[in-house]
Amino acid sequence: MRDTIPAIFPHGDYHEGGKYFLFNGKKKLVDQARWTNLLGKEMLLARRLCEAGCGFVTVVDSSWDFHGGGANNPGTLVGMQTLGAQMDHAVAAFLDDVKARGLSDKILLIVTGEMGRTPIKKNRDAGTDHHGP
C-alpha cells in the first residue's frame, strides 16, 4: 500500500461535473461536487484508496445535531438544507466516479447514521440526550 501513496493523490483527478478555470495559464477543472466541503474531499480520498486496493474505508461526517437551540445552531430546516445538499453532492460524485472507473461491482457504499438517545425526554426544547440510560 505504501508504494501506491503517490497514485492516491494525483493532480487533475476530478469529477467530470466540475467547471474549468485558468490556473497558471493552464485550463484546470474544479470539482464543484467534491471540493465544496470536507465530506466531498473525504469521499474522493475514499475512492482513491479503493482504487489503490484498500479493502475497507470508513468516512465520517459529523455535526448533524442541529435540532436544539444555541448560538451556533442553525436549526433543523437550515441544517438539513445545508448538510443534506453537501451529502447529496458528495455521494453523487462518488457514485459517478466509481461507475466511470468500472468499480461499481467492487465497491459497496453504505450511508448510515447513529445517534444514541435516551428513551425519555430529558430537556424541554431540544429532545432527548445523546447517550444511553
pLDDT tens track, the chain, 133 positions:
445 444 554 544 444 444 444 555 555 555 554 556 788 888 888 988 998 999 899 998 887 777 666 667 777 788 788 888 888 888 888 888 888 889 999 999 999 887 666 666 666 656 666 665 4
- What angle is formed at CA 88 by the lines to CA 87 and CA 94, rounded to 5 degrees? 85
**pTM, two decimal places:** 0.64
**DSSP H or E stretch at residue 28:** strand 26-30
Per-residue cell: 60: 465520517
Phi then psi for residue 9, to 5 deg, are: -115, 50
